[in-house]
A and B are shown apart, each in its own frame.
Chain A
Amino acid sequence: MRRLLDFLIRHINLVLFLVLEGIALIMLSSSHNYHNSVAQGVFGGVVSRINTSVENARSFTRLRQVNRQLAYENAMLHQKLEGTVKVAPATEIKVNDTINKLYYTYISAKVVNNSVNKQKNTFTLDRGLSSGITNGMAVVSPDGIAGVIIASSQNFSVAMSVLNLNFKQSVRLKKTEYFGSMSWPGKNYRFVEVTEIPHHVDVAEGDTIVTSGYSALFPENIMVGTVEGAPEEGGDFLTLKVRLSTDMKKLTYVYIIKDHYKGERLGLEAEAENE
């Protein structure tokens, strides 16, 4: 015991280093629920307040563009859905499906923190549990897909950005309906990759890519982007370079989509798998 203590004291710096590095790695590995961690409880308020004011300043410089975007979107919605959309409490837009059951609820939110220059990018939204936000909800911008909610606290939520090595989404070519898998290769924030498109499919530059609705994350036909350059061939499948329709660097206002039938669908699929 005495010897062990002597040893520890002699190598106090090494021990301290290992302990601190260990804490860092534990923080890293439990990062999925870090929003509930003690540290977040202590610093969370200050940090999100500072992040919010930084983002406020940034979004002010973008107002002109955001206004134009909103006006355009409004005009489009008016044209498309004359009288069919009920605008419920100011911040929620409800969309009815064909047999008049509520299928999706759109909840508007503002981005208060955003990153595009890491390998696992996330962004923070100013709505949380109190607005009914839960993990796994889709986040779209007026231009197309943006991310998926991965953590939420009372008033904020964090979404995994499409610019995240862990982000995967089933997508399809709008023209030919063939589907493939979308992910971000981690290089340029404007481009994602679509793989697993069969070899024989005819793909031209500028073709539109939309979500397929095969995964329970995103509704069908949400804009993803357009094909850029010639498809890359390798094995039986094509790899497409796709320019994201959403400029993730300018993300300001987004919609969080609540899927009212997600639980039922996932439950049934899990049940079928167990059979």
Chain B
Amino acid sequence: MNKIIKYIILFACLLLLQILLFNNIQFSGYINPYVYVMFIIMLPLGMPEWLVLLLSFITGFTVDMFAGTPGVHTAATVMAGFARPYLLSLNITSEAISASSTPSIKNNGVRWFIVFSLSVVLVHHLTLFYVEVFRFSGFFRTLLRALLSTLFTTFFIVMIELFRSRR
């Protein structure tokens, strides 16, 4: 029960951060961090896939409502939620990870956390930026936008996680 409340708070904080801060900052035309994906990354490792998918849908849908971009964030977040178990099985380390644990730097180490975040964010951003333009002209420019934004989003997610684990 306690855990569910924790996740609701995380969800609200990430959304507020995204809507109030990151949607209003423009670093350049090429870099748009979308840190709310962190919610999908932070879900318990053993959570059933269908629940991850449903939560991804709700997250993406909420962000879409605020950004006025129906479907774009939903499509990208559902894709990230779908890819998450596969990315997890690729990234799993030799040490046993308990099914109920949350991914964190403390439990899984900095390297694991960065690689895992980077891969989920990459799937999300590639889908997001291509769905957003919805065309293949300017293929490489969209690719560059997705890759640069992935780096920045991952950076901010790791920063938030460091801040979280220090407390």
Contacts and interface: CB of A to CB of B under 8 A. Distances in A.
Interface of A: 12-13, 16-17, 20-21, 23-31, 34, 37, 39-40, 43, 47, 50-51, 54, 58, 113, 115-120, 122, 124, 158, 165, 186-189, 249
B68 A17 contact: no
B71 A113 contact: no
Contacts of B138: 186
Contact of B82 (A17, A23, A113): A17
B74 A118 contact: no
B69 to A, nearest CB: 7
A30 to B, nearest CB: 8
Contacts of A113: 68
A43 B19 CA distance: 15
A117 B74 contact: no
A34 B70 contact: yes
B9 interface: no
Contacts of B20: 54
Given A12-B50, A115-B23, A118-B132, A20 B57 contact: yes
Nearest to A47: B65
B103 interface: no
17 contacts: A13-B50, A16-B54, A17-B53, A17-B82, A20-B57, A21-B75, A23-B74, A24-B60, A27-B71, A27-B74, A28-B70, A54-B20, A54-B24, A58-B24, A116-B26, A119-B132, A158-B68
Given A27-B64, A122-B68, 7 more contacts: A17-B82, A24-B78, A31-B71, A113-B68, A115-B68, A119-B132, A186-B138
B22 to A, nearest CB: 10
Nearest to A15: B50
DSSP class of A's interface residues: helix, strand, loop or mixed? helix
- Max chain A C-beta neighbours (<10 A), residue from B29, B49, B67, B141: B29
A193 to B, nearest CB: 13
B132 A50 contact: no
Contacts of B61: 39
B70 A27 contact: yes
Given A24-B60, A54-B19, A117-B29, A47 B66 contact: yes
Contacts of A27: 64, 70-71, 74
Nearest to B75: A24
A47 B15 CA distance: 13
B51 to A, nearest CB: 10
Interface string B96-115: 00000000000000000000
Contact of A20 (B29, B53, B141): B53
Interface in B55-105: 56-57, 60-61, 64-72, 74-75, 78-79, 82
Nearest to A119: B133
A189 B53 contact: no
A124 B67 CA distance: 11
B50 A21 contact: no
Contacts of B75: 21, 24-25, 28
B151 interface: no
B7 to A, nearest CB: 19
Interface in B8-51: 19-20, 23-24, 26, 29, 32, 49-50
A17 B29 contact: no
Among A16, A47, A124, A158: residue with most chain B CB under 10 A: A16
A47 B70 CA distance: 13
A179 B52 CA distance: 54
